[in-house]
Amino acid sequence: MIDKIQQCEKNVLSFIFDDNKNTVEKFRLDFLSKKGEVSLLFDSFKLLPPVDKKKYGEMLNDLKKLTLDTVTNNHSKNQQQQGYNKKLFPTYQNNPGSLHPIRIVEEKISSIFLSLGFDYAEAIEIEDDHHNFSALNFKEDHPARDMQDTFFIGLNMLRTHTSSVQIRELKKGVLPLRIIMPGRVYRNEDISARSNCFFHQLEGLYVDKKVTFADLKQTLFYFVQQFFGEGTKVRFRASYFPFTEPSAEMDIWAGIDTEENKKLTKGTGWLEILGCGMIHPNVLTACNIDSNVYNGFAFGMGIDRIAMLKYKIHDIRDMFTNDTRLLSQFTGV
Ligand code: PHE
């Protein structure tokens, strides 16, 4: 077996490619097709006893990699000579790409809520005043509208939060309702290492009869234990949002044991990760739901912040420069 592998490696290395496409094709046929040398070696490998498999497995895999690299390099050399600019398509080279850190974190958060029985919903990013503000109990001229600097597009706007999706889902009138709504949001803010003019949120909504604040706390507590690890401490601070009453912000304990954590938490050890509260009755009424019968809770968290915390990314802008050297480092949570 060892002789055969070495012989095949020699054949691969001594194969002469010229400028035309046919030699690449011939190489493929000689080595990688069903009856090609490499494939036949893999066939005989399958029949080996387990001890030998261990011995030869690695060698065979190296041989396969060498063969694939050889064909890919020569293929792209050919393409270049034919005037094809491979730089435009860097990921076509042997590289299947990887998930964006925002996507990885969003999927992980979603999977926790889906396991609790939440459904999934999405909606449009260009919104009207009704869905982004009015139906969420932001009164005309109320200073709360200034909490979220808005990009306007004529009479419409880029949504400033995923809470607009709450309205779209509530108006469908199917109750009880338990959903998460991830998506991109936009705010006309100064761009810095900590904040960007667009970012990502994941909204949660639970409407039923006799929902309590304890239900909200327990749901979020469960999420934190699953995502950040068992024993992660949380605290709730009273806050204000027009669409929830009472409202709170939830912090997790990140610690002050490292310089980095001190900086991240401004010396307190606590890191704010979401806003939440019991749905304001005016929101239910605006969606034609009887607030004497139904109530519920809502929460909204920033995904970018959590991704930065998880992956120790110091500058939010780094995630959106499309630099594959950075992006290909993130493979899981
Ligand atoms: N929409 C709020 C924000 O963007 C977050 C939030 C969602 C607060 C749901 C309470 C309930 O800051």
Is residue 275 pLDDT above 90, yes or no?
A: yes
Would the pLDDT of 95 be above 80?
A: no
Q: How many CA atoms lie within 13 A of 216 on its CB side?
A: 30
CATH class of the structural domain 102-327: alpha beta
pTM: 0.72
Q: Give the SS3 label for residue 274.
A: strand
Q: What is the pLDDT of residue 90?
A: 52
Is the pLDDT confidence value at 39 over 50?
yes
Question: Which atom of ligand 1 lies nearest, measured to the CA of 201?
Answer: 4
pLDDT at 86: 47
The residues, ordered by sequence, that sit 6+ positions from 159 with a Cβ below 8 Å of its Cβ are: 124, 125, 126, 127, 131, 132, 183, 185, 186
Residues in the ligand 1 pocket, defined by CB under 6 Å: 161, 163, 203, 241, 244, 275-277, 298-300
Among 96-100, 186-190, 314-318, name the one with the lowest average pLDDT.
96-100
Query: Residue 16 — pLDDT band, cuts 50, 70, 90?
Result: confident
Assign 304 to helix, strand or coil: helix
Longest dimension (CA), the chain: 82
What pairing do the DSSP bridges indicate for beta strands 177-186 and 119-120?
parallel
User: Would you say residue 87 has pLDDT above 70?
Assistant: no
- Residue 77's pLDDT is 66
Residues in the chain: 333
Determine the pLDDT at residue 102: 95
Please give the pLDDT value at position 76: 62
pLDDT given at position 265: 87
List the residue whose alpha carbon is closest to atom 9 of ligand 1.
299
Residue whose CA is closest, atom 8 of ligand 1?
275
CB 324 within 8 A of CB 92: no
Look over the chain and give the mean of its residue pLDDT values, rounded to a whole number: 89
